[in-house]
Structure 1
Amino acid sequence: MKKKLALPRVGFLGTGWIGRHRMQAIALSGEAEVAAIADPCEENAREAAKLAPEAVLVEDLDALLELDLDAVVIATPSAGHCYQALRALDRRLAVFCQKPLGRNAEEAQLVVHAARSMNRLLGVDFSYRFADGIMKIHQLVSSGEIGQVYAADLTFHNAYGPDKPWFYDPELSGGGCLMDLGSHLVDLALWFFGYPEVRSVSSSIFAGGERLKTGSGKVEDYAVVSLVLEEGHAVRLACSWNVSAGRDAVIESSFYGTRGGVSFKNVQGSFYDFVAERFRGTASETISSPPDEWGGRCAVAWARQLRLGKGAFDPQAEHLVRVAQVLDQAYGR
């Protein structure tokens, strides 16, 4: 009888809502074993333990790193991501981290360099890439079906602000809505265009309806960013917290080519339900619609890569630095 291979043993650092959701997705996928849970909030840890009763509960990252693990999933406040990822990589553990990987490009570069040096798998939870609609329109774009794509508009307006105080401290968060929501948009734009060089970045950033000044100690709640890519392609990004959007959220990514267009839009203000359409002139065709359980797919894809590739470094992680660099330029730093 063929011996069954052991699954990678993964520890989870931070098990708030999103941490638990990613943990459950990985557990249900069968791609990895939920071996340990660490969260300073006892309530979060108890809720996570209900989803993975076999997992060991420990106090913190130090305790996680003393266990026999293959990888760590980090779902903590942004200020800790760089330091926590570096410590895990130093122990030769693969890492999957919530975005942003770092509060700036320097932190992101440190983590990517460490992952490359240690030859460890590094992933960041840019989850929208794995929505069915996004995958389908990405295929249309990359195959040339809509011709030469020359422009894109991406939007993420959230009628609510985050409910955790650290989001509003630039030292802890690295930035406001642009870091929180706009990072997804920057990632999608660069991915769709094949990670080209970025010729220029310009931005208008607001807090409370007023232009935000560098060093103000505030984070932005509205941002518009324009990118010009190496071939002259134009990309416009807009994101906000607490905007009067008339609905819970406006989430949309549209790409325009010489033979048509494609668009990915949320349905009736939903954060989870999306429709994707293909355009030919004034005609439209729906190519994806709800339901679609997409939220945990990025984490599952990382876990599958961990299982199949034994945790070796993936050069695609280098692109994480490019995303951080564009955000830095948008912030003027």
Structure 2
Amino acid sequence: MCWGHYLEQTKGAKCSELVYGQTNISTAKAVTDAGKVGDRLSQDFFREEYILNNAIGTYQKPYVALIDGITMGGGVGLSVHGRFRVATEKTMFAMPETGIGLFPDVGGGYFLPRLQGKLGLFLALTGFRIKGRDVQQAGVASHFVDSEKLPSLEKDLVQLKTPSNTDVAGVLNSYQAQSKLDDGKPFILAEHMDQINRLFEASSVEDIMQKLNEDGSSFALKQLETLKKMSPTSLKITFRQLQDGASMSLQEVLVMEYRLSQACMRGHDFYEGVRAVLIDRDQSPKWKPGVVEEVTEDLVDGCFKSLGSNDLKL
């Protein structure tokens, strides 16, 4: 049995007893620095990450991720594809990649379009953050347990004599039943799901933005304002990524996403996004192209093209 424990301040990574994961500024800077000079790190980082995501998604033994903190990017990839994902009141989940000129990778093209309605597309394009029990209600986590109970939960999992999926589920279900924090609280986006499903049911990013503008509600206009801050290229890549990924296997999605990762390494917006959001932190990225209408279909198509012998092999 392998289980993961995701903490905001962890530094290591292993998969023996506990798995620690994070996406941090130093990693993003290392990848951007490598990409600028054509160093293999910009290829190997994504390749090895996606191979690991696939290993987790196909792992035969029970895999339990305890996502007790900030869970974004790489931390999502290390948890969401496992059979069991345990959120706590401290969990904060988001896929904010369109804000740094990237896309919701690590298999986002697989799990996001499989969430309820258009929720996955909404989360992917806007980077909206969900916390605590909402992470389970969204379908990202399979269970919710009070954080104070995690040490005891880990102990009981370790002591299982026959850690089958059924036995692990039994332990997790028991701890979930004991956890009363925010029990019965409605999903944070419940009152907006009809809007999300209607406004994000579209044939293009431009169509979504037009619908949001025409809707005119405070919620819709807030999402429109958010989308206008994101990388236009990332928005269009992400829209197609989820559109295609809805009918793909996890392996097919990861191959597609590796192609997209390398397209981002060849482009402009990822470097500019990391600079503006993570390094200089002026929050004023200068995207190229600057608006979604200028992102051509040829540009998007080029991001999805095969890399030939350099394609990801799983």
Which bracket does the TM-score occupy, shorter chain normalised? Answer: under 0.3
Compute the TM-score of the two structures, normalised by the length of structure 1.
0.25
Compute the TM-score of the two structures, normalised by the length of structure 2.
0.26
